[in-house]
Amino acid sequence: MITVIGGGPAGRLAALRLAGFGREVRLIDGRPEGLGGQCLHHGCMVINAHNDAAKAVDAARTLAGLGILDDTPLLSYDALKTEMAGIQETIAAVIHKETIEAGVEVIRAHATVRGKEVFLDGKRQTPSEAILIATGSRPSVPDIPGTGLPGVYSAHTLHHLRRLPERMVIIGGGVVACEYAYAFAAYGTAVTMVVRSELLRSLYPHLRAEVRRDLDAVTILEHSDPCAIEGVETATGVRIRTETGGEATIPCDAVLIAAGLVPRTEDINGIALGPAGEILVNDRYETSVEGVYAAGDVTGPPYLTPVARREGRAAADAILGRTPPPIPAAVPQAIKLRNEHSFAFLPGREQDPLAIPSPAGPGSFWSVPSRRTGRAVLEADRTTGHLTGFYEASPTSSTAAGYLAWCISEGVNADALESFLEVHPSSEGVPWLIRYIAELREKEEKF
């Protein structure tokens, strides 16, 4: 018997992989909503729901501004919540059925681990041949007064927000903070972002500039430190300390904390952890305890669903005695706003970017008057022609992002893609840049 703890992307994929090789597997998950993990119930799918609704309202507002529509439709937040929950339940039921039919025993219980011992709802279990811990991550909550007030939410509790707030403060300057800021601003909420340092500080400069354009309806306060959330019966404001040392209070009727993620290891004992509470593993996903493995967000960043899936499958291979495949060097990512901001870069590359505005196409035709069709950026080694990175801001850029990231990781040469033809019409500019680099190299070789 192999025990997998956590029914999110890493744990479920590992359980399916192990069962597919004929192993007896039990999957332990304590989430009352069912399998699917943070991605389905509080993360990616929730962002998708909000982003689809927000872009529909945003597009209607653009058309109304051009006189093409008479008015902008009003969003029913209550209906959005109800319909989203129904779809989440449908997806959870589908993946539960799929998991059971694959031969995995699914047990709903709260699991704790002490070394190689597993306890379900406090009861010690019969020892397993191997244990895989895939308990995921949870929102990081800053240590400031007032975070426990009603009206203060994280991504895991936002579903308790009963009505659309008039004024919202979002604490955080990362991807999730930006995605929620865009959505609620599109709904008509006055949104203020409180950012300790700089918005998306570790990401690509072109990306940061384009994201700001998509967040033009949001007030962004950088270098602002949240001191406290104020209020008595509910949150009424966020007190901040500015870069100059002064203090100010931002009035609001809702606060969303989107300050990053931390590994869920509060129920893990007797296993070596890192400084952020992450489970330490080697390249075979083995922990400090023999026979105990870990994969996904519980082992630390980058906290991305595709990486968690890949690690879950790789950890299963290690348990099976196989050689686990490496994680690709260039990992595709996307930020969902008015445009999809997709990117992947090789670590340690030398930056030598080519950049052009993304062309008008599906989803961006009516953005031409405001010059907001997005931007395409491509990086390549001019000597070898190998692609080293890309960034694309356009309505559907994430569709091709995975393929481009694969080309980068595999060392594909721009010359090999010179004959590539994109579907037309298209709103992506990276294919144009690939052909341009190939043409430059051809001219350099001739002269």
pLDDT of residue 256: 98
Q: Which two tokens stand for residue 381?
A: 């080694």
Decide: 258 and 269 in contact? Cβ < 8 Å. no
User: Quick one: pLDDT at residue 245?
Assistant: 84
Q: Hunting for tokens 């509790």 — which residue is that?
A: 157
Show the tokens assigned to 24.
């007896």
- Helix (H) / strand (E) element for 13: namely helix 9-20
Is 37 in contact with 66 (CB distance < 8 Å)? Answer: no
CB 138 within 8 A of CB 11: no
Tracing tokens 């037309």 back to the chain, one arrives at 424
CA 77 to chain centre: 23
What are the backbone angles phi and psi of residue 221, rounded to the nearest 5°?
Answer: -105, 100
**Separation in Å, CA 437 to CA 279, 294, 352, 415, 433:** 43, 42, 12, 8, 6
pLDDT < 50 regions, the chain: none
Q: Give the count of beta carbons closer than 10 Å to the beta carbon of residue 115.
A: 16
Closest among 111, 106, 109, 73 to 92, alpha carbons compared: 106
DSSP character at residue 297: G
Residue 445: its pLDDT value, please?
A: 65
Scanning 199-269, the segments in alpha helix (DSSP H) are 205-214
Three-class DSSP category at 250: strand
Q: For residue 288, what is the DSSP state?
A: S
β-bridge partners, 343: 333, 391
Residue with tokens 């209020």: 231
How much is the pLDDT for 296?
Answer: 98
Tokens of 60: 């209607």
Structural domains of the chain, ranges and CATH numbers in brackets:
2-139+262-319 (3.50.50.60), 152-259 (3.50.50.60), 333-446 (3.30.390.30)
Task: Select from 406, 404, 395, 403 the least CA-distant residue to 428.
Answer: 395
Which residues, other chains included, contact 322 with Cβ-Cβ below 8 Å and sequence gap of 6+? none
- Asked if 262 and 277 touch (Cβ cutoff 8 Å), the reply is yes
Q: 381: burial class by Cβ within 10 Å (0-12, 13-18, 19+)? A: middle
Whether 357 contacts 374, CB under 8 Å: yes
Per-residue buried b or exposed e for 128-153, using 16+ beta carbons within 10 Å of the residue's own CB: bebbbbbbbbbbeeeeeebbebebbb
CA distances to 309, 330, 424 from 25, rounded to whole Å, are: 17, 32, 47
Helices (H), 21-135: 37-41, 44-65, 77-101
- Cα distance between residue 154 and residue 304, in whole Å: 18
pTM (global) more than 0.85: yes
pLDDT digits (tens, 9 = 90+) for 16-52: 999 999 999 999 999 999 999 999 999 999 999 999 9
Q: Which two tokens stand for residue 223?
A: 């270098």
Rounding to the nearest 10 degrees, give the CA dihedral for residues 307, 309, 314, 315: 110
The two structure tokens encoding residue 272:
């070596």
